Amino acid sequence: MKTTKLTKMKRLFLFLVLFLIIISSQAIAATYADIEIKANSDGSLSIDGLTNYEPFISFDDGDFLIRDGKYWVLNITTDEVFTDAIYKVTLPEDVVVNYLRVPNLLTIDNKDGRMTILGTAHNQKMNIIIQYTAEEKGSSWWIFLVLIAIGSALLTWGYMMKSPSQKSFTYKGLTPRQKQIFELVAKSTKGITQAEIETITKLPKSSLSRNIDTLVKKELIHKEQSGMSNKLFLKEKS
């Protein structure tokens, strides 16, 4: 009986030892990470924090961050399963994210112009793929200056092409009737006949002719024969 009890106790002891060995080996083999991954505008990359995942401890920038034309790709694809992991990714200033795939996303924030992505990985691979476009410095200023130049050119062109009717005329030495006649001529882009002015102003022909002659002498308007009447135009300044 005693031999049987001793044998059972030995078996139980061996079982406990084996169980402890298995548990400790699993604990030793567990992969963990509590890290911040920071991508910089110059293409450099830093990984800070606590981890026992060797590729995070010893790496080159090109292992995880590459450039493809105008795009940057942050690609962290792990083969190992992380028992417990928390990560924070910080991107360069003023970038546009075109593609995002991360495990267990918690938050996306933007602080001081830099986007930050926070997430976790539990009993899974920590595969992070982010594609973004970085705006080159000075490009926005170049576009801004071009827009200013175009705007200035359009304003100048608009002023030069502005019709006489849109201009404000202030000439000293004109009587009210002469000013009225002059403004009618100035508002007509294709000229106005003396008969049309007579109809509008209701002035006698003799009085209208004298005032028109005065404006012609002052070189403010000029007249051309048009049928039985004269056609009046604004005098262009040389």
Any idea what the CATH number is for the domain that residue 54 is in? 2.60.40
Domain range for 103: 30-134
Q: Which residues contact 15 (CB under 8 A, 6 or more apart)?
A: none
**pLDDT digits 0-9 by tens, 29-61:** 588 889 999 999 888 999 998 999 888 888 887
Q: What pLDDT score does 170 carry?
A: 53
The pLDDT of residue 162 is above 80: no
pLDDT band for 15, please (50, 70, 90 cuts).
low
**pLDDT digits 0-9 by tens, 114-144:** 889 988 988 998 899 999 997 655 455 555 5
Domain boundary pick from 91, 118, 134:
134
| pLDDT > 70: percent of the chain | 72
pLDDT band for 166, please (50, 70, 90 cuts).
very low
Q: How many separate domains does the chain show?
A: 2
pLDDT band for 189, please (50, 70, 90 cuts).
confident
Strand partners, 155: none
Any idea what the CATH number is for the domain that residue 195 is in? 1.10.10.10
In a domain, residue 12? The reply is no
| Rg, the chain, Cα only | 44
The pLDDT of residue 26 is above 70: no
Residues 50 and 95 reside in one and the same domain:
yes
